[in-house]
Amino acid sequence: LAKTTQPISMDSYEGQEVNITCSHNNIATNDYITWYQQFPSQGPRFIIQGYKTKVTNEVASLFIPADRKSSTLSLPRVSLSDTAVYYCLVERNTGFQKLVFGTGTRLLVSP
């Protein structure tokens, strides 16, 4: 199953747009890309998922190029409450279901 690589940490300020890129070179045809957000001592929670091109919901956008070997999570106008760890995960919805989380990206938003 495709492993992912993300930056260890990122810093930003309130009101800025934050883009976190994830590399997943070995992604397979039937794999989806999912991003999760985790606050300290809480379980990860779903942010957004996509298969190709662009997906947008009320909290984020996800950009996936045609080769699908990377993806970028975009958080518009971050606030202090967006300080968290963000995980990119490649998930397959059929067959083999062993999942490998990376170490995630620790985002710190400052005033």
Partner 1 sequence: EAQVTQNPRYLITVTGKKLTVTCSQNMNHEYMSWYRQDPGLGLRQIYYSMNVEVTDKGDVPEGYKVSRKEKRNFPLILESPSPNQTSLYFCASRGLAGGDTQYFGPGTRLTVL
Residues that bind partner 1 (CB under 8 A): 32, 34, 36, 41-46, 49, 87, 91, 93-94, 97-104
Least separation, in Å, of the C-beta of 96 and partner 1? Answer: 9
Structure tokens at 87: 């995980």
Question: For partner 1, which is the closer residue by CB, 13 or 51?
Answer: 51
Question: For partner 1, which is the closer residue by CB, 42 or 81?
Answer: 42
Longest dimension (CA), the chain: 45
Nearest to 104 by CA among 57, 58, 55, 39: 39
Question: For partner 1, which is the closer residue by CB, 8 or 111?
Answer: 8
